[in-house]
């Protein structure tokens, strides 16, 4: 089969299982000849341990879940540590521990709701780094500056 596509409206792309062959543009126009061939893949003996509809044994699932938790642990605890100076709690260890424990509690609660009532994907709902820049911008305003920083500036 030969198709003509307008490169201004539809950029060139190839789909999985499809082989696309390009021909040269005709007379400087935006149309080109594209030849598409369907490639049939035969089932091969690939080295996958589990297919999409299979699950590992319970002991391996617990080990992999713990590994997933350790991976998410670093990013969950980093957000309050980065924000501690802007939130005026860099000297207050109790306040910092309350924020860290609140993030872990809410993260666990959101993950539990996601895996039971949501779309049931095994995703840890944790803190995000996307709001760090707006948070620092808002907390840099004079209205939200730390009291001890304002006292140092007055002297």
Share of the chain above pLDDT 70, in %: 66
Inform me whether the pLDDT recorded for 3 exceeds 50. Answer: no
Q: Phi then psi for 103, rounded to 5 degrees?
A: -65, -40
State the pairing for strand pair 2-6/31-38: antiparallel
Residue 72 CA to residue 39 CA, distance in Å, equals: 40
**Neighbour tally for 124: CB within 10 Å:** 18
**Residue in this structure with the two tokens 């040269």, named with its chain if needed:** 24
What's the whole-model pTM score? 0.56
pLDDT in tens, 48-73: 888 888 888 999 999 988 998 888 88
Lowest-pLDDT range of 8-17, 98-107, 125-134, 144-153: 8-17
Check: CB of residue 103 under 8 Å from CB of residue 79: yes
Residue 132 CA to residue 93 CA, distance in Å, equals: 21
Give the model's pLDDT for residue 45. Answer: 61
Give the model's pLDDT for residue 71. Answer: 85
Q: pLDDT-derived band of residue 6, with 50, 70 and 90 as boundaries?
A: very low
pLDDT in tens, 120-154: 887 888 888 999 999 999 999 988 888 876 556 66
* Cα separation values, 4 from 18, 25, 30, 33, 54, Å: 16, 10, 10, 5, 42
Give the model's pLDDT for residue 21. Answer: 53
* Cα separation values, 9 from 4, 5, 20, 28, Å: 12, 8, 18, 16
Q: What's the half-sphere exposure (Cβ side, CA atoms, 13 Å) at 139?
A: 16
* Cα separation values, 21 from 2, 13, 16, 38, 111, Å: 10, 11, 14, 11, 46
């Amino acid at each position: 089969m030969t198709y003509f596509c307008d490169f201004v409206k539809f950029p060139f792309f190839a789909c999985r299982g499809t082989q696309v062959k390009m021909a040269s543009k005709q007379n400087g126009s935006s149309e080109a000849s594209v030849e598409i061939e369907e490639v049939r893949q035969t089932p091969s003996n690939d080295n996958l341990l589990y297919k999409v509809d299979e699950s590992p044994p319970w002991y391996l699932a617990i080990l992999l879940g713990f590994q997933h938790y350790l991976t998410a642990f670093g990013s969950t605890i980093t957000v309050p540590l980065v924000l501690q100076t802007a939130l005026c709690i860099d000297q207050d260890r109790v306040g910092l521990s309350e924020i860290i424990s609140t993030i872990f509690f809410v993260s666990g609660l959101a993950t539990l709701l996601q895996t039971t009532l949501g779309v049931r994907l095994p995703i840890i709902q944790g803190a995000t780094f996307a709001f760090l820049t707006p948070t620092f911008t808002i907390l840099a305003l004079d209205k939200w500056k730390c009291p001890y920083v304002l006292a140092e500036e007055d002297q």
